DNA sequence: AATTTTCTGATTTACGTACATCAAATTTTC
DNA sequence: GAAAATTTGATGTACGTAAATCAGAAAATT
């Protein structure tokens, strides 16, 4: 049987009350006694039964998720995943509230962070915007001992506890590597389409992409970066212009959102030299385009995994407990037409793995 | 506050004991009363607190993992992951035992399954071999109401509850797609290297690969499949022969294990036309070869994820509880030189994410 | 040595559920 | 309508931990 607090008490020759004081770092224990208890814990290999402890504490974890608002399939899918997690709240002892703020607006984000701080939750998850003010706001949360996890887009230089997102430099490098090899001998310039250089994930993808392109595939000229603000209409217009002005274009790397616009522009073009297109985030639009051959590769991050990971990490940080590091690494999914996972619910404008509650029992596809 | 059994009792106007009888399907409740209680449960939205229930039951889940023996980096890594899970047993209320059986030996596997059955565990995870005897053995377990999860290699036609592994047809298709596009205009035959056609995962990868190659890249002749039994020495010898007899070879798809032998043979070759090499499973050998440019792509399944998923699913099946479907889908990782995750402990002959217990705090790489 | 302060022990209640026992109420059977 | 069978209620203990109280012991201070 697994040792309990009673066993510690017996092993250390102290009472249960003293063991409790040591375990929960309460005052009123002499150093010698404390050490004796700690040695006993070590010796008999006691580990606290978190389930029982949470039961006794009737602990709940109030978490705040701060996400960008706006018509962005990926972000809305992320929000859907957070709401799916909310529906599991009872079982997971969480109490999650979602706050949306205007996209690419550091000031609004700072306000939201400070508002969250006022509620002193057990943890905050935030899609960060890279700005000194935001860093300061995150550090204020940390100063109040509130765990913070950045989601999707990281915030270097801040004291955030953890980043739940993909390695975006690697994503950019991978895109370049695939682009270069898919183009094979073909020549022609390559365009890069971003949302905004304000968010770190976009900047990092761009850096990785440019690094590998210039180093390994110098034959392809990189056109000036197009900033589409993740807005489908704006993206469609800008991409249309580039396609018109550079008919010999060989590839497009879309590292942000608003791919509906990109796809529309590609469809309108038709004919001409084939263009190798690599985009981010699997939504129903990019999935369809991949199947139609309009897009060659989709790089994806799994929103559901990111949300669940963020919650696990926030819980662990709140409890001061270790996490399984490898489990929390968010992977970069590379999707070709050939390894697309089965489509879930269509109809809604959400990415992969809409929160589903019953197991679908479809064997390998699950 | 979340409703408890007391709330059900109050809402249904019965005693706690009766609620308990209904919840745990004990005898001695009239149908009318039972229905009244069930309606109350429905109405107030009661969900059992699994943590408290497990505490009261002091439940442990005895699981058996059956893995192939032998000198196979991937399988040994899988075993390491199971052992990592064993070290978390206390916290997770599991009690895991590992059984290794000779590889590609259906008879031995059947014996191991029956032996596991005799111990009537709470669940069994098994790397399956595709054979009628094995199907029958698995179905015997299911007949005893013991949940079974197949791991890495599935067992179609059996009554297994779940498959924790990648979609291997998609893996083969993806390999072919990347191979064809990476080869671009280049011509030349392509060799396929497998372990054994006895295991379903290898057969499926081959099927997927051949389908896409013949359909989309008919210019490349497929050489007869090499069966290397996942044995490095045998693989090295056989690949050496093929490289010698077909100097104009353009690509190699290694869909099984024993890649140490493949790499050795490639190194010995040097010179000649460049060969596009796609292999499975990221081990320290394939990682090094990817970095050196000897291998172009590594397709990987995350052994740690597979093991943790198998345990979660077995637990859920044992409790008759739903699982988060999307969380249990095992993804196919596609690794290029550019998106290799940071290397963990080297020195040991194991794949990615050796069980580590403390969080390394390295930010995005985590 | 007496007093104050600081530790430590013993005991109790609680968290939400499981499970057992026994008495009381209700239904069924003859 | 009484006896037997079934159903229901009341109550207590347990799981492992948290948290509180209060009494007693040990140490530090005067």
pLDDT in tens, A200-246: 999 999 999 999 999 999 999 999 999 999 999 999 999 999 999 99
| Interface A:B, Cβ pairs < 8 A | 163
Q: Return the pLDDT at A295.
A: 97
Of chain B, the percentage scoring pLDDT greater than 70 comes to 93
Q: Helix A132-143 and helix A106-118: axis angle, to 10°?
A: 10
Q: What's the whole-number mean pLDDT along residues B268-294? A: 91
CA/C1' separation A29–D24 (Å): 16
* Rounded Cα gap, residues A272 and A277, in angstroms: 14
For residue range A318-335, list pLDDT tens digits in order. 887 888 888 899 999 999
Whole-number pLDDT of residue A339: 93
Residue A194 near residue A202 (C-beta atoms within 8 A): yes
Average pLDDT along chain B: 90
Find the Å distance, CA of residue B195 to C1' of nucleotide D3: 76
Q: Looking at the complex, does the CB of residue B253 fall below 8 Å from at least one CB of chain A?
A: no
Q: Residues B224-234: what's their mean pLDDT?
A: 94
Tens-place pLDDT, residues B283-313:
999 999 999 999 999 999 999 999 999 999 9
* Dihedral (Cα; A135, A136, A138, A139), 10-degree rounding: 120
Grouping H, G, I as helix, E, B as strand and the rest as coil, residue B119 is coil
* Residue B159 per-residue DSSP state: -
Q: Evaluate if the CB of A4 falls below 7 Å from strand D.
A: yes
Q: Which of B174, B329, B363 sits opposite A336 (nearest CB)?
A: B174
Partnered with residue B298 across adjacent β-strands are: B279, B335
B201 → chain A, closest CA residue: A364
- CB of A31 lies under 7 Å from some atom of strand D: no
- Sole residue written with tokens 């403390």: B358
What pTM value is reported for the model? 0.87
Min Cα separation B176/chain A (Å)? 9
In the stretch 280-309 of chain A, residues with CB closer than 8 A to chain B read 302, 304-305, 308
Nucleotides of D under 7 A from a protein CB: 6-12, 14-21
The DSSP line for B268-281 is HH-SSS--EEEEES
Residue A139 vs residues A68, A143, A332, B365: alpha-carbon distances, Å: 20, 6, 28, 21
The residue-averaged pLDDT of A1-12 equals 90
Distance from CA of B284 to the nearest CA of A (A): 17
Q: Could you tell me the pLDDT band of residue B272, with boundaries at 50, 70 and 90? A: confident
- Percentage of chain B lying above the pLDDT 90 cut: 79
Considering only CB atoms, A50 lies closest to which of B52, B91, B154, namely B91
What the block records as the tokens of B158 is: 């059996």
Percent of chain A topping pLDDT 90: 78
Q: Which A residues 86-115 touch B at CB under 8 Å?
A: 88, 90-91
Pairwise CA distance, residues B256 & B261, whole Å: 12
Q: Closest partner residue to B182 among A52, A181, A341, by Cβ?
A: A181
Q: What angle do CA B217, B220, B222 make, to 5 degrees?
A: 110
Angle in degrees, 0-180, between the axes of helices B303-319 and B73-87, rounded to the nearest 10: 50
**Token duo for residue A178:** 């695939």
Q: Touching check for B332 and chain A: CB below 8 Å?
A: yes
Q: Cβ of B18 < 7 Å from strand D? A: yes
Residue B168 has pLDDT above 80, yes or no: yes
Which tokens is A321 given?
């407990």
> Is it the case that residue A346 has pLDDT exceeding 80?
no
Residue linked to tokens 């109350």: B40
pLDDT for B360 beyond 60: no
């Amino acid at each position: 049987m697994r040792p309990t607090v009673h066993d510690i008490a017996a092993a250390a020759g102290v009472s249960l009350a003293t063991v409790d004081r040591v375990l929960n770092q309460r005052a009123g224990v002499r150093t010698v006694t404390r050490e004796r208890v700690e040695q006993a814990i070590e010796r008999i290999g006691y580990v606290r039964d978190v389930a029982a402890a949470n039961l006794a504490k009737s602990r709940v974890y109030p978490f705040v998720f701060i996400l960008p608002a706006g018509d962005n399939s990926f972000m809305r899918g992320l929000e859907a995943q957070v709401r799916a997690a909310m529906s599991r709240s009872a079982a997971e002892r969480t109490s999650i509230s979602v706050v949306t703020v205007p996209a690419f607006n550091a000031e609004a984000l700072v306000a939201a962070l400070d508002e969250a701080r006022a509620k002193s939750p057990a943890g905050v998850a935030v899609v960060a915007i890279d700005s000194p003010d935001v860093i300061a706001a995150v550090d204020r949360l940390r100063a109040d001992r509130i765990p913070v996890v950045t989601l999707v887009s990281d915030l270097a230089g801040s004291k955030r506890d953890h980043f739940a997102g993909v390695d975006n430099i690697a994503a950019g490098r991978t895109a370049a590597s695939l682009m270069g090899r898919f183009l094979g001998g073909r020549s022609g310039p390559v365009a890069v389409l971003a949302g905004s250089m304000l968010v770190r994930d976009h900047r990092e993808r761009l850096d990785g992409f440019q690094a590998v392109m210039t180093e390994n595939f110098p034959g392809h000229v990189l056109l000036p970066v197009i900033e589409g603000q993740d807005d489908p209409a704006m993206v469609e217009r800008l991409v249309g212009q580039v396609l018109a002005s550079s008919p010999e274009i060989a590839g497009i790397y879309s590292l942000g959102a608003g791919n509906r616009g990109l796809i529309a522009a590609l469809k309108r073009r038709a004919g001409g030299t084939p263009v190798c297109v690599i985009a981010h985030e699997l939504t129903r639009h990019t999935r369809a385009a991949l199947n139609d051959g309009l897009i060659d590769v989709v790089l994806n991050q799994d929103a559901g995994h990111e949300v669940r990971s963020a919650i696990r990490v926030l819980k662990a940080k709140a409890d001061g407990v270790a996490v399984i590091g490898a489990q929390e690494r968010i992977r970069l999914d590379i999707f070709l037409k050939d390894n697309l996972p089965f489509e879930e619910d269509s109809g809604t404008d959400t990415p992969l793995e809409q929160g589903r509650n019953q197991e679908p029992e479809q064997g390998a596809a699950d």
